[in-house]
Structure 1
Amino acid sequence: MTQGLLLVGASGLAREVLAAGITGVTGILDDDVTLHDTEVAGVPVVGPLALAPRRAEQLLVCVGPSATRRAIVRRFAKFGVDDERYARFVARSARIGASSDLAPGSILLDSVVVTADARLGRHVVAMPNCTVTHDDVLEDFVTLAAGVALGGGVRVCEAAYIGMNAAVRQGLTVGAEATIGMGAVVVSNVPNHQTWAGVPARELGESA
């Protein structure tokens, strides 16, 4: 049985998690040596990421960019860190419907609402005030910035990023590693790896 919790990354996201009331945190890991032996919101930065496989605590990867979060998890996996080592964090003001699932490593911050029969994968991050409605699927390493709203039956594929206050119409797919700009209104499927913005959202560089 693991004891306590280590946050991975002395980041803004780590401070958000701490501010949202997470408990049991024993330290923070970060590869920036200038941060070692300092504190973030009163929590000590105890050393580099390489310590994680050798320590007993659970882990929560608090790194904002989806691809970087994925790279850290893959790095740890090479040293035997599996899903059982990862915690979940749901802020007290967030709400998850009884029929929805949240996989290990995922973070839901203040006032996030997940309704019915949604599936949130590993290491998903939902920033404050996001709405994830019925039958949505968020694959591993998805990031939702603050205020994102997803209609029912939306699929957001692995490591996609949806910017602040963007909205996605029901039944659509946002492709793997796609980026949606802040305030965008997505009314058609977004292919893998593309960046879309605007109202209605279009691929950047595409003429109106």
Structure 2
Amino acid sequence: MAGEGVLLVGASGLAREVLAAGMTGVAGILDDDVSLHGTEIAGVPVVGPVADAAAGNEQLLVCIGPSGTRREVVRRLGRLGVAAERYATYVARSARMGTTSDVGSGSILLDGVVVTADARLGRHVVVMPNCVITHDAVLEDFTTLTSGVALAGGVRIGEAAYIGMNAAVRQGLSIGAAATVGMGAAVLSDVPAGEIWAGVPARRLGVTK
């Protein structure tokens, strides 16, 4: 979905997943780990630190899994003068986007993702393989859905929330900003911002740092 000359930000597992899903036109990877500079990740060179993004005009795709860390990197790049228009969006060929749904810049949807009707995905959202996002769901900026998450209709996920593998969220509920839902959870009530919930049914375990 992105054009030629894309730089991936973060030499991460997510970067490798994006490359394995078939993204083309990747010119290099930026990472602050100097020991990686001059090496390759899945055949793509690690060409320098993250700050180098400010010096070029390539499109960028931030491949950092944790929601809060991804947000901080984007904010850092903004302070360095990187405009929002430079961010690419990647939707894997096997993902299915409903014609009435939207996805924001900087977002990543991997293999087998299904987005149905009238869903809204914000900027820098990451959706890992085989997630299902149904009608009227809203994923605010920097949300992360890990593999196999299922969102029923009208669910709202707050900014920088993180939903664990194979979790399911009942219709019409809200997950607050920066909340964490554990893997395999069955969410049957609203999750307040900044809280950690897990279990079947999901219950509060604590607060995020």
Q: Which residue of 2 aligns with 1:67?
A: 68
Query: 2:21 aligns to what?
Result: 20
Aligned equivalent of 1:188 = 189
SS of the aligned residue for 2:147 comes to coil
Distance 1:200 1:24 in 2: 44
* TM-score of the aligned structures, taking structure 1 as reference length: 0.97
| Correspondence for 2:170 | 169
8 Å CA contact 2:51, 2:80 repeated in 1: no
After TM superposition, give the deviation of residue 81 of structure 1 in Å: 1.3
Given residue 200 of structure 1, which amino acid in structure 2 is its aligned partner? P
Distance 1:81 1:99 in 2: 30
Alignment partner of 1:73: what SS?
A: helix
TM superposition outliers: structure 1 runs of 4+ over 3 Å: none
Q: Render the CA deviation track for 1:34-54: whole Å, top value 9, x for unaligned.
A: 000000000000000010010
Q: Is this contact kept in 2: 1:186–1:201, CA < 8 A? A: yes
One-letter code aligned to 2:136: D
**Separation in 1 of the partners of 2:157 and 2:85?**
24
Q: Structure 1, residues 57-104: CA drift from partner, whole Å, max 9, x if none?
A: 100000000000000000011122122100000001001000000000
Matched with 1:53 is 54
Which residue number in structure 1 is paired with residue 35 of structure 2? 34
| Root-mean-square deviation over aligned CA pairs | 0.9
Aligned to 1:152: 153
Give yes or no for contact 2:4–2:26 (8 Å, CA) kept in 1. no
User: C-alpha offsets along residues 159-181 of structure 1, whole Å, 9 cap, x if unaligned?
Assistant: 00000000000000000000000
Tell me, in whole angstroms, the C-alpha distance in 1 between the residues paired with 2:63 and 2:40.
15
Could you tell me whether the CA contact under 8 Å between 1:163 and 1:181 is conserved in 2?
Answer: yes
- What secondary structure is seen at the aligned counterpart in 2 of 1:153? coil
Q: Which amino acid aligns with 1:149?
A: A
Q: What is the DSSP-based 3-state SS (H/G/I as helix, E as strand, rest coil) of the residue aligned with 1:60?
A: strand
For 1:75 and 1:172, the matched residues in 2 are separated by: 32
> Cα distance, 1:55 vs. partner?
1.2
Shift of 1:126: 0.3
Identity value in percent: 73
- Counterpart CA distance in 1 for 2:33 and 2:113 is 31
1:106 partner amino acid? S
Instruction: Check whether the contact 1:3–1:56 (CA below 8 A) recurs between aligned residues.
Output: no
Distance in structure 2 (CA, Å) of the matches to 1:106 and 1:83: 12
Long gaps (5+) in structure 1? none
Name 2:204's counterpart in structure 1. Answer: 203
Code of the residue aligned with 1:130 in structure 2: it is: C
**TM-score, length of structure 2 as denominator length:** 0.96
The CA distance in 1 between the partners of 2:28 and 2:201, in whole Å, is: 44
How big is the shift at 1:3? Answer: 4.9
Deviations 1:104-163 (A, max 9, x none): 000000000000000000000000000000000000000000000000000000000000
Provide structure 2 residue ranges, at least 5 long, that are not aligned to the other structure.
Answer: none
Aligned residues: 204
SS in 1 for 2:23: coil
The 2-side partners of 1:148 and 1:161 are apart by 11
